[in-house]
Structure 1
Amino acid sequence: MGVSISFISATTEELDRAEQDPSWADEYVYELYDSDDFPMPDRPHGGPDKAWAGLQFLIDETDVGLEFLMDGLPILEDGTLFVWSAEQIESVARQLRATPWEQLAAHYDPERMTKADVYPNTWRFDPEADLYWLERAYEELVAFFTEAAERGHGAFMNFSF
């Protein structure tokens, strides 16, 4: 299965309720993903999936203020569900839109990433394919943050391991 991160947009009311009732949030987010209507056109979703650590490695070399595992407010004690405010989503969206993929790709270093044990640590096997994989994940991340920000949404972030 692996370690992955995903986002699904949320209204301010949903985020407020999640902070007050974490067990509701856990069930609600599960139902959103498990719904027959998923994906819902009015609820942006996406994320870096298993590419999150590789993207974090590249993002850390830029001015983008995004730390997947430090940003957002943890809702569940086990660290698997976070809420991101609409303001956070807007700020990250603005930064991501201003950061072209080529700026991140310039820091791609399979050897350094392997030595640093950057998850999923497959960088040395097919570096070109992994760079392409990271690019697709980045594009999806930018699209999610942009769409959620345009709707004035915050987000739930799932961290599964």
Structure 2
Amino acid sequence: MGVTIGFIGATTEELDRAEREPSWADEYIFELYSGDDFPTRPYGGPDKAWAGLQFLLDGTEVDLDFLMDGSQILEDGTLFGWSAEQIESVARQLRATPWERLAAHYDPERMTKEDVYPNTWRFDAEGELKWLEHAYEGLVAFFSEAAEGGYGAFMSFSF
């Protein structure tokens, strides 16, 4: 399976309750992904591409850190809440940052040396760049849809 990150839109009320009742949040996320409410709200994420995208984002002015942003809901570090304001801010930055600006920082040799997850950069450098581009497009789409809908988000981090 691997280490993955995913997002699903969340209302302010859901995020508030999640902070008060973390065990509720854990169960609720499962229900969202398996229930009738899914996929009527924005969802998506970088999946396994999160660290590669983080490497590229770090070379830009986009203020996004997958592992530091959001507020931790579960003590084990597998669930975070992102406010509607955070989602809007990131969406604005991502929409203003074309893929080419990120791609300019792609360095498969350095990414391999620094062991950037999933560390497949040396096997098919061009293919991995296309994979990152697809993941970035999905990330921009998620943040844009969530912002337009006034959503915050739950971010799951599985390892």
TM-score normalised according to structure 1 size: 0.97
Deviation at 1:53, TM superposition (A): 0.1
Three-state SS of the structure 2 residue aligned to 1:5 is: strand
Contact 2:79 2:154 in 1 (8 A): yes
Find 1:79's aligned residue among 71, 77, 80: 77
Residues of 1 paired with 2:118 and 2:156: CA distance? Answer: 18
Cα offset for 1:121?
0.1
Alpha-carbon separation, structure 1, partners of 2:46 and 2:53: 8
The one of 99, 122, 125 aligned to 2:123: 125
110, 113, 130: which is aligned to 2:111? 113
Is the partner of 2:44 in helix, strand or coil?
Answer: strand
Q: Distance in 2 between matches of 1:84 and 1:135?
A: 23
SS in 2 for 1:139: helix
CA RMSD of aligned residues (A): 0.8
2:33 and 2:39 in contact (8 A); partners too: no
Q: What does residue 96 of structure 2 align with?
A: 98
* Counterpart residue type for residue 26 of structure 2: D
Q: Could you report, residue by residue, the CA deviation over 1:5-63 in whole angstroms, capped at 9, with x for unpaired residues?
A: 0000000000000010000000000111122x36423x000000000000000000000
Number of the residue aligned with 2:149: 151
Counterpart for residue 25 of structure 2:
25
Give 1:40's aligned amino acid: P
2: distance between equivalents of 1:103 and 1:38? 36
State the alpha-carbon separation in 2 of the partners of residues 39 and 86 from structure 1.
19
Equivalence for 2:16: 16
The answer to whether the Cα contact below 8 Å between 2:12 and 2:151 also exists between their aligned partners in 1 is yes
CA distance in 2, matches of 1:49, 1:31: 19
The question of whether the paired residues in 1 share the 8 Å contact of 2:8 and 2:155 is answered with yes
- Superposed CA offset, 1:48-92 (max 9, x none): 000000000000000000000000000000000000000000000
Q: Alignment identity in percent?
A: 79
Paired with 1:38 and 1:119, the residues of 2 have a C-alpha distance of: 32
For residues 10 and 89 of structure 1, what CA distance do their matches in structure 2 show?
Answer: 10
Work out the CA distance in 2 between the residues paired with 1:105 and 1:52. 14
| Count of matched residue pairs | 159
